[in-house]
A and B are shown apart, each in its own frame.
Chain A
Amino acid sequence: MLVVDKDFIERIKCKDPRYQKLLFETYSKMLLTTSRRYSPAHIDPMDNMHDAFIKIFEKIELYDPAKGDFGSWSRRIVINCALEKLNKKSYSHEKYPEVLSESIDDFNVFEKMKVDDLMKIINKLPDGYKQVFNMYEIEGYSHKEISDTLGIKEVSSRSNLFRAKKLLQELINNQNYNHQWMTA
Chain B
Amino acid sequence: MDDSIKRKIIFHESDMEIDLEWSKLQSRMQEKKRRGVLFFFTLGIITLGLSLIGIQSYNYFSDIDSKSKNQVVNNKEYVDNATLLSKSISPINDNGENIADLASDFQQINIEKSAQDENTINSNTLNTAKSKNFKSASKKSITSLSGLVSNKNIPHIPSKIAFKESKIIDGKAESIQPEKSRNESTSTQLQVEEFSSLPKKHLFLAYTNQFELNYDDNKVLPISRKINLLRGWSLTNTTLGNLKSNANITHNNTNDQNELKRNSLEVLSTSLGLNKTITKNLSLNFGYQYQRINEKMEAKGIGYQVKQISNTLIATGQDQQRIFGASNQVREVKYNLLSYNHHTSNSIFLRPNLHTSMKGYDIILGAKWVIPVNFNYQYENISIEGLSIESSKNAENVKIRNFDLQINRKIYKNLTLGLTGEYMSSTWNYDFDQPSIDPQLIMQSTGLTKYKLNTFLFGVNLSYFLN
Contacts and interface: CB of A to CB of B under 8 A. Distances in A.
Interface of A: 17, 21, 24-25, 28-30, 32-34, 36-37, 46, 50, 53-54, 57, 75, 107, 110-111, 115-116, 118-119, 122, 137-140
B302 to A, nearest CB: 72
Nearest to A32: B14
A28 B2 contact: no
B34 interface: no
B39 to A, nearest CB: 15
B280 to A, nearest CB: 9
Nearest to B13: A29
B1 A119 contact: no
B8 A107 contact: no
A33 B29 contact: no
A138 B18 contact: no
Contact of A54 (B12, B14, B28): B28
Contact of B12 (A24, A25, A33): A33
B167 interface: no
A89 to B, nearest CB: 12
B13 A33 contact: yes
A45 B2 CA distance: 26
B21 interface: yes
A107 to B, nearest CB: 5
A158 B6 CA distance: 20
Contacts of B5: 110-111, 118
Contacts of B16: 28-29, 32, 46
Interface residues of B, number: 22
B10 interface: yes
B411 interface: no
A86 to B, nearest CB: 16
B8 A75 contact: no
Nearest to B28: A50
Contacts of B82: none
Contacts of A36: 14
Contacts of A140: 6
Nearest to B3: A140
A138 B14 contact: no
- 7 A-B pairs with least C-beta separation: A29-B13, A32-B14, A33-B12, A33-B14, A115-B8, A137-B1, A50-B25
B464 to A, nearest CB: 20
A145 to B, nearest CB: 16
B425 to A, nearest CB: 37
A54 B11 contact: no
B449 to A, nearest CB: 54
A137 to B, nearest CB: 5
Given A54-B29, A137-B1, A25 B18 contact: yes
Contacts of B87: none
A138 B13 contact: no
A46 B17 CA distance: 11
B359 to A, nearest CB: 14
A106 to B, nearest CB: 11
Most chain B C-beta atoms within 10 Å of own C-beta, residue among A17, A24, A34, A50: A50
B32 A54 contact: yes
Interface string B17-28: 010011011101
Contacts of A54: 25, 28-29, 32
Interface string B58-84: 000000000000000000000000000
B9 interface: yes
Contact of B24 (A50, A107, A110, A111): A50
A115 B13 CA distance: 10
Nearest to A36: B14
B358 to A, nearest CB: 15
25 contacts: A17-B26, A21-B22, A24-B21, A28-B22, A29-B13, A29-B14, A29-B15, A30-B10, A30-B12, A33-B9, A33-B14, A36-B14, A37-B9, A46-B21, A46-B24, A50-B25, A54-B32, A75-B10, A110-B1, A110-B2, A115-B8, A122-B9, A137-B1, A138-B6, A139-B10
A138 B5 CA distance: 9
A50 B11 CA distance: 18
Interface in B170-217: none
Given A116-B12, A139-B10, 8 more contacts: A24-B18, A29-B16, A33-B9, A46-B21, A54-B28, A75-B10, A111-B2, A119-B12
Interface string B366-386: 000000000000000000000
Contacts of A25: 18, 22
A28 B15 CA distance: 10
B271 to A, nearest CB: 32
A24 B29 CA distance: 13
B360 to A, nearest CB: 11
Contact of B25 (A24, A37, A122): A24
Contacts of B2: 110-111
A115 to B, nearest CB: 5
Contacts of A57: 29
A30 B8 contact: no
Contacts of B13: 29-30, 32-33
B11 A30 contact: yes
Contact of A53 (B6, B8, B11, B25): B25
A119 B15 CA distance: 13
A75 B6 CA distance: 14
Contacts of B25: 24, 50, 53-54
